[in-house]
Amino acid sequence: MTAKLMDGNALSRAIKAQIKTDVADFAGQRGYAPVLAALRVGDDDASAGYARAIGKNCRSVGVEFRETALPDGATQAEAEAALRALDADTSVHGIMILEPLPPQIDHDALVLSLDPAKDVDGVHPLNAGRLQQQRPPFFVPATPAGGIRLLEEAGVNFRGSHAVMVGRSDIVGKPMALLMLHRHCTVTLAHSRTQDLPAVCRSADILCVAVGRAEMVKGDWVKPGATVVDFGTNYTGDGLKGDCDQASVAQVAALLTPVPGGTGPMTNAMLMSNVLEAAKQAAIGQSRQ
């Protein structure tokens, strides 16, 4: 079998084209564009590069991007104050905290200073809890939101299917597991202490992998005819690699997200969708005042 590829480039282009139209409509009606602000601390190259990429993503759909960059020695109190200033700024609709942060900054504590209504990354515990309990409004983190959109677009059957999510991070694994549970999959959430991981993976109708280990999942870990979502983004000497050995997995799976061109571009599209939604919600709130 050679798996059919779930094309994240094509789907994200279509979603972003619609978002661009919706953003233009929003700006035409309200007189301002949606605004995404990013807080960055220190001069780490990765977070600076991430900020540039987000800015480019925003410009591609007409969203305004603003960056607050604090110096490397900034304190927790200064970072929290910067976040609260963005919370209070009614011209800002979405806020992201860019990682990595310097060691003196406690990310989990910092997140608590973020207004949940502007938390377009879905990292605030209130959004995570609302997602878990399916009590809107909440923001779904962009990467699992994109993974689910790819599966939906491919017409994958969720109801009663066994979904295995390998990786339990708050930003990818746990929310993806919940999104599949809410679509009536029977979900197994696997991690580094899971015993006989290959056998657990082989039991999956839908196998999703977000571990950060290049090409860990091999073809013989996959049930013939399964659907495989590879969230892995690993920069190796041999180029960008997923968490799945794409060549051998493609021989066994029926559907597979390629790397690159699968879940990565979908993350960009879903983030922009969250920013537009945050701006719309803020506008409704202001009209009600």
| Number of residues lying near ligand NDP (CB under 6 A) | 25
Which CB, 82 or 209, lies closer to ligand NDP? 209
User: Should residue 213 be labelled a site residue for ligand NDP when binding is judged by CB under 6 A?
Assistant: yes
Residues numbered 250 to 279 that lie near ligand NDP (CB under 6 A) are: 263-264, 267
User: Should residue 171 be labelled a site residue for ligand NDP when binding is judged by CB under 6 A?
Assistant: yes
Report whether 39 contacts 68 (CB < 8 A): yes
Owner of token pair 């003196």: 104
> Applying CB under 6 A, which part among 41-49, 76-84, 87-95, 227-235 lies near ligand NDP?
227-235
- Furthest C-alpha separation in the chain: 58
> Applying CB under 6 A, which part among 9-17, 94-102, 177-185, 188-196 lies near ligand NDP?
188-196
List 212, 219, 260, 261, residue binding ligand NDP (CB under 6 A): 212
User: Should residue 191 be labelled a site residue for ligand NDP when binding is judged by CB under 6 A?
Assistant: yes
Report whether 68 contacts 37 (CB < 8 A): yes
Which CB, 63 or 74, lies closer to ligand NDP? 63
List 135, 159, 193, 288, residue binding ligand NDP (CB under 6 A): 193
User: Should residue 168 be labelled a site residue for ligand NDP when binding is judged by CB under 6 A?
Assistant: yes
Sheet with 94-97: strands ordered across: 64-70, 35-41, 94-97
DSSP tally for the chain: helices H, then strands E: 10, 11
Report whether 176 contacts 164 (CB < 8 A): no
> Applying CB under 6 A, which part among 10-18, 50-58, 118-126, 225-233 lies near ligand NDP?
225-233
Locate the DSSP E strands across the chain. 4-5, 35-41, 64-70, 94-97, 162-166, 186-190, 206-209, 227-230, 234-236, 239-241, 255-256
Write out the residues near ligand NDP by the rule CB under 6 A.
143, 166-169, 171-173, 191-194, 197, 210-213, 231-234, 243, 263-264, 267
